[in-house]
Amino acid sequence: MDTLIFLIVALPLAGFLALLAFGKRIGEPFAGYIASATVGGSFVLAAISAVDFFRGIEHGRTVELFEWISSLGLNATFLWDPLSAMMTLVVTGVGALIHIYSIGYMHGDPRYGRFFTYLNLFITSMLLLVLGANFGVLFIGWELVGLSSYLLISFWFEKPSAAAAGKKAFVVNRIGDFGFLIALMLIFAKFGSLDFGYVFEAIHENAAIISVGTATAITLLLLVGAAGKSAQLPLYVWLPDAMEGPTPVSALIHAATMVTAGVYMVARTGVLFELAPVSQGVVATVGALTALFAATIAIGQRDIKRVLAYSTISQLGYMFMGVGVLGLVGGVFHLVTHAFFKALLFLGAGSVIHAMAGEQDMAKMGGLRKKVPVTFWTMLIAWIAISGIPPFSGFWSKDEILAIVFNRGGGYYVLWAVGILTAGLTAFYMSRMMFLTFWGAPRWDEGVTPHESPPSMTLPLVALAGLSAVGGFINTPWRPALEHFLEPAFELVHQTHLPAPGTQWVLAIVSVGVGIAGILVAYRRYVARDTQLETGGVWDTLLAGYHVDDLYGRTIVAPGKTASEVLAFTADAKVVDGAVNGVGGLVKAVGDQFSKLQTGLVRSYGVGILVGAVAVLVWLLAAGGGVF
Amino acid sequence: MIPLIAQVSADGLQVEPGWYMALAAVLFAIGATGLLLRRNALVMFMSIELMLNAVNLTFVAVDSGLGSLEGQISVLFVMVVAAAEVTVGLAIIVAVFRKRATASVDELSGLKG
């Protein structure tokens, strides 16, 4: 059985290596088939390995591959427990669907093979991240997903904007990784180990082993890392630009899997967060603010993918709220359902873009309902799911988070209110996107003839639509199956639970009401009155994302550039190089003087030798032979 | 008083050791003078050979007086090295002569500082 766990990672890795070596020769479409098959195979293996968790007869185990850094006691070890199993299933399951979709989407791309090489690299890295049994393996996966994200965002690097977006994502993620790395050092300094099991057991046995201050410092630094990877305030700026990548990448990496790594990490280290109430509040507040902030920006976007990008940031905010208040199951639950409906929305958007011959501006869409029926109906399901309308999946997970936040009471009531407000905004901006795209009169450019996508693209849509529709039933208040499933992984954490059933009903009715209100307002505005895309005033501010990029550009990037220029062209070129060249110049000047001794007149050298020899002789004679 | 140069013994005519030294010193001085005064590379070479052989003479003379062999072996080495040096040196001189149509070392000062 342990071999299976190893194979889950080894399969996509083998696919990556094979495509790396022969991807170009294999070419279209077999490179896509190979990549999809390896990820699909991983999914099957993961499902087989997870059977014992479903039956409730196993609580998790570690699989050691080899000794890695013995001086740190760090080994290449995989942890196979319900949490990592669930993450593996989501990553490989959604990943396989997106691989299949890409076979059609990337049709005709000159670097077809390389695209699937990168996708397999990403899946491998992500599996390392979720399967690592210690912070070391987690960190390797963490960095590798950052790398593959960079490679895939700037996949069409001929476009300067895509190259810049990849660079931005990488640099912003580095800021987060910096915090994460310091957190790991603190953990190692405190516990002498980076092993999950060891650290969490040590805290479980004696919580006084670590002071509240240290725990707070560690968890806040972990949050910095998580905020970078999961695009939370203030490090979210890379995600909207990441939409420059091919749409399957946006769906796979920047909606369903990689960006949830931060949520996974906070859930995994829930034991540490439990010790630091301040950090819990900070995580939940960051999540709530991000959710609201990004949702308002999403309202003003014109590019269909940017709407979804800001929506992703906003939904990740919900997940952070959930794990922040120690509703770990709620946060992870939303991670799963969000992976379904957001991947579906992105793939649907990709299908629309495909149909519109590359057009992403919603101002030039409209009336696509009849033209791309499969895309329309599947996206409709995702739309209702994200808007929080029961019984679709988004309702169950979002409301579980909101109910848990509400149950914490005190200042968390404010966060709950923010969450409810965001729910209404979410329903509104998603409806706006749907209405502008599929309803109303066509506003297409001339020569555009929308057509439905090939089956390799629509089949994943249908599969994801099914999951988005019923995915919520894995964890309902009456039948909390996911909670039972994850119990062994979170047994050391005292989680916040749902409020009493009566309160739950009230909260659910409020949130559904807000969601329906959001949809109705959008309907009146964009369908009944046929409002076109707005411009001017506050809309321009929203479109520009509150000019946060400009703000960062002026306050951080520009001073950073100035500092770099001073260091490069003054400190380095003048001072450091000056010192080095000065030493060289001095030696040369001295040498120039001495070189005058070399007259080129051989006989004068002879005189020199003779005089020298005579001098030595005289000295020897003067010493009276005593020198010998 | 005329200094004694040689005397007759049972083995025949024996030269006084000091005269070997004197002869070597004279040969060495001639060689050194030639080296310093002549411009022609070939002649300078011959002067160097003269100096080398003056040294060789002191080696064998002192050695036979002391009855040892080290000096005589050294002489063989000096001769071998000198022969090797001459082949290289002559080749250089011939090459320079072909190129510059002169063997005067004073004109070969292209590497001066």
- Encode pLDDT of B82-106 as tens digits: 999 989 999 998 998 898 888 888 8
- Mean pLDDT value of segment A270-294: 93
B15 occurs within a structural domain:
yes
Q: Chain A within 8 Å of B100 (Cβ-Cβ)?
A: no
B100 occurs within a structural domain:
yes
Segments of chain B with pLDDT less than 70 = 1-3, 113
pLDDT at A145: 93
Are B105 and A602 within 8 A, CB to CB? yes
**Inter-residue contact A393 to A337 (CB < 8 Å):** yes
How does pLDDT run across A329-363, given as a tens digit for each residue? 999 999 999 999 999 999 999 999 888 888 888 88
- The encoded tokens of residue A119 equal 């996708």
Q: Chain B within 8 Å of A611 (Cβ-Cβ)?
A: no
Q: How confident is the model at residue A536 (pLDDT cuts 50, 70, 90)?
A: confident
- H/E stretch holding A65 reads strand A61-69
| Burial category of A108 from C-beta neighbours within 10 Å (exposed 0-12, middle 13-18, buried 19 and up) | exposed
Say how many Å lie between the first and final Cα of chain B, rounded.
55
Are B113 and A601 within 8 A, CB to CB? no
How does pLDDT run across A391-422, given as a tens digit for each residue? 899 999 999 999 999 998 888 999 999 999 99
- Mean pLDDT value of segment A39-53: 92
How many domains, chain B?
A: 1
How does pLDDT run across A71-107, given as a tens digit for each residue? 888 889 999 999 999 999 999 999 999 999 898 888 8
pLDDT at A315: 94
Helices (DSSP H) in A409-546: which residue ranges? 412-438, 455-470, 481-486, 501-523, 538-543
How does pLDDT run across A121-156, given as a tens digit for each residue? 999 999 999 999 999 999 999 999 999 999 999 999
- Mean pLDDT value of segment A35-43: 94
Q: How many helices (H) and strands (E) does chain A have?
A: 26, 2
How does pLDDT run across A459-484, given as a tens digit for each residue? 999 999 999 999 889 888 888 888 88
* More confident of the two residues A511 and A533: A511
Nearest residue of A to residue B48 by CA position?
A606
Backbone φ and ψ for A605, nearest 5 degrees, come out as -65, -40
- Mean pLDDT value of segment A22-27: 84
CATH number of residue B40's parent domain: 1.10.287.3510
Q: CA–CA distance from B24 to each of A291, A445, B44 (Å)?
A: 106, 110, 18
Q: How confident is the model at residue A311 (pLDDT cuts 50, 70, 90)?
A: very high
User: Which of B36, B38, B47, B107 best tests the A interface by mutation, with the highest count of A CBs <10 A?
Assistant: B36
pLDDT at A318: 93
B1 occurs within a structural domain:
no
Nearest CB partner across the interface for A603, out of B105, B110, B112: B105
B106 occurs within a structural domain:
yes
pLDDT at A264: 94
Domain with B34, as residue range(s), is 6-111
Q: Chain B within 8 Å of A588 (Cβ-Cβ)?
A: no
Q: Is B91 helix (H, G, I), strand (E, B) or coil?
A: helix
The residues that bridge with B7 in the sheet, in sequence order, are: B14
Identity at A237, one-letter amino acid code = V
pLDDT at A179: 92
Interface of B with A in 27-46 (CB under 8 A): 32, 35-37, 39, 44
Lowest mean pLDDT among A183-197, A271-285, A483-497: A483-497
pLDDT at A525: 87
Nearest CB partner across the interface for A606, out of B36, B108, B111: B36
Are A600 and B110 within 8 A, CB to CB? yes
Are B111 and A596 within 8 A, CB to CB? no
Q: How many Cβ atoms from other residues are within 10 Å of residue B95's Cβ?
A: 10
B33 occurs within a structural domain:
yes
How does pLDDT run across A428-442, given as a tens digit for each residue? 999 999 998 898 888
Spacing of C-alpha B100 from chain mean position: 28
Identity at B98, one-letter amino acid code = R
Nearest residue of A to residue B34 by CA position?
A603
Percentage with pLDDT > 70 across chain A: 99
B34 occurs within a structural domain:
yes
Question: Locate tokens 């603190």: which residue?
Answer: A186
CA distance B28 to chain A (A): 12
* Cβ–Cβ pairs < 8 A, chains A and B: 36
pLDDT at B113: 67
B32 occurs within a structural domain:
yes
- Mean pLDDT value of segment A30-49: 92
ipTM field: 0.79
Closest among A201, A118, A137 to A6, alpha carbons compared: A137
pLDDT at B3: 67
- Statement: residue A21 has pLDDT above 70: yes
Query: What is the Cα–Cα distance from A491 to A206, expressed in whole angstroms?
Result: 16
* CB contacts, 8 Å: B32 with chain A: 606, 610
* A55, HSE (Cβ side, Cα atoms, 13 Å): 8
Buried b (16+ CB within 10 A) or exposed e, A246-269: bbbbbbbbbbbbbbbbbbbbbbbb
Percentage with pLDDT > 90 across chain A: 56
Instruction: State the DSSP string of A360-416.
Output: -BGGG----TTTSHHHHHHHHHHHHHHTT-TTSHHHHHHHHHHHHHHHH-TTHHHHH
